[in-house]
Chain A
């Protein structure tokens, strides 16, 4: 899976925006920021799953 496909995916952009917002929010606690940062592997796995599913659907259409 190409790193570019993951980093330009809307889900990844959404996670990145949440990290940015959390780090700049003066009311955000350290543990909440950490829990958002900890979501990264889950986000990456979800994107990878979606990209693979998309590729399989494409293959099914090409070779019915």
Chain B
């Protein structure tokens, strides 16, 4: 019979670092361990975690770390026996400390803890996968990947650690923006009259919902927002569930002056048009913007992608296209569209304030909105959910204008109605939707 496999641990190194901390006259080891994100839970042996907690308490009270103080505190808390009595304490203290290897031992103890988190997350997933229905697989894998990402975050001690040079670079960038009269807390939209209504643009930490019936230009509107943000040095990420990445690429090129991109599918590109495309691509290629194409993602998967993008690319603005086609995470969500919408919003929306990003969520309006002009649209036409009304800081509804006056024959007039606006009055804004370039302009 084989012995059950023990979880990864580094017992001797746990004793070694605790020994160093207990004999630490300069009192630096506890601070160094706190800097590395060590907590009582990091230790494999519960008694070691308990001892570490007591050492932290003594340090916080700025009292000397000496054996009698430690024993007394453990006794007062009724936990002296739980850690093996005074003799085990003395044994740890007497464990030959190796200050030269303190950081190495600390990193190893932490690494073993991360391994245990990952094993636990994956084991839970494997256990659930045996009993899961096909509807649950996506959610289980997403939860498992979250656990692994969490473990990786734990290993990455440099996250959130910036050099002064990095901070000064960001500071100068903000100063240059401010010298142009632009706020560093809002991401401007491509349309100045909408910016005026929204107090300068989209707020960091805020959620904006843009809704419309099919073919009213939701995707084009969202893409232009992402492009404009990137042009203004706010890294953006367009999360597409609906459109193929090539289609998104066409629209980005069109928004940079590549002309009528519908000519591509007709096989109808002239030499002159290729030159125009060359100029447009040069302008678009260096944008700090990414496009992610999902196939039937759950809200958990989207949430994981957002976290990763913020971590890897410093993304400040996300546009999600679109809410109603996010997949159900389980059978109950599959049966109940309203529950699915609410759960999706509950998973994704808190990320805005937590990560300091601006989230634009595109959504479809119900059939009730069909044939109505934008002036007649109201929040009740948002399909299947009233939670959007609660969660969104700003809601924009795209609809037809009551008249048909365009700036040119290719333009279709649209009106953006803003029935909810946390930073200003509710209002309307007129835009023109240009079919060949699939872009909105004033």
Residues of A within 8 A of B (CB): 2-4, 7-8, 10, 16, 19-20, 23-24
Contact = CB atoms under 8 A, between A and B. Distances in A.
B180 A7 contact: yes
Interface in B151-190: 165, 168-169, 172-173, 176, 180, 188, 190
Contacts of B176: 16, 19-20
A36 to B, nearest CB: 12
Contacts of B231: 7-8
B-side interface size class: 10 to 19
A7 B182 CA distance: 11
A8 B190 CA distance: 10
B192 interface: yes
B232 interface: yes
A4 B172 CA distance: 21
A20 B176 CA distance: 8
Interface of B: 165, 168-169, 172-173, 176, 180, 188, 190, 192, 228, 231-232, 282-283
A7 B192 CA distance: 13
Nearest to B177: A16
B172 A24 contact: yes
A40 B231 CA distance: 18
Contacts of A24: 165, 168-169, 172
A41 B283 CA distance: 22
Given A20-B173, A20-B176, A10 B283 contact: yes
Given A4-B190, A10-B283, A19-B176, 19 more contacts: A2-B192, A3-B192, A4-B188, A4-B192, A4-B228, A7-B180, A7-B231, A7-B232, A8-B228, A8-B231, A8-B232, A10-B282, A16-B176, A20-B169, A20-B172, A20-B176, A23-B172, A24-B165, A24-B168
A10 B287 CA distance: 11
Nearest to B173: A20
A18 to B, nearest CB: 11
Contacts of B180: 7
Classify the interface of chain A: helix, strand, loop or mixed.
Answer: helix
A18 B82 CA distance: 63
25 contacts: A2-B192, A3-B192, A4-B188, A4-B190, A4-B192, A4-B228, A7-B180, A7-B231, A7-B232, A8-B228, A8-B231, A8-B232, A10-B282, A10-B283, A16-B176, A19-B176, A20-B169, A20-B172, A20-B173, A20-B176, A23-B172, A24-B165, A24-B168, A24-B169, A24-B172
A8 B224 CA distance: 13
Contacts of B192: 2-4
Nearest to B188: A4
A49 B316 CA distance: 33
Closest 5 CB pairs of A and B: A8-B231, A23-B172, A20-B172, A24-B169, A19-B176
Contacts of B173: 20
A7 B172 CA distance: 17
A23 B169 CA distance: 9
A53 to B, nearest CB: 14
Nearest to B165: A24
Contacts of A20: 169, 172-173, 176
B312 to A, nearest CB: 22
B340 to A, nearest CB: 38
A23 B172 CA distance: 8
A4 B224 CA distance: 13
Contacts of B283: 10
Contacts of A10: 282-283
A43 to B, nearest CB: 13
Contacts of B165: 24
Contacts of A2: 192
A23 B170 CA distance: 12
Contacts of B228: 4, 8
A2 B192 CA distance: 9
Contacts of A3: 192
A38 to B, nearest CB: 13
A49 B165 CA distance: 37
A16 B173 CA distance: 9
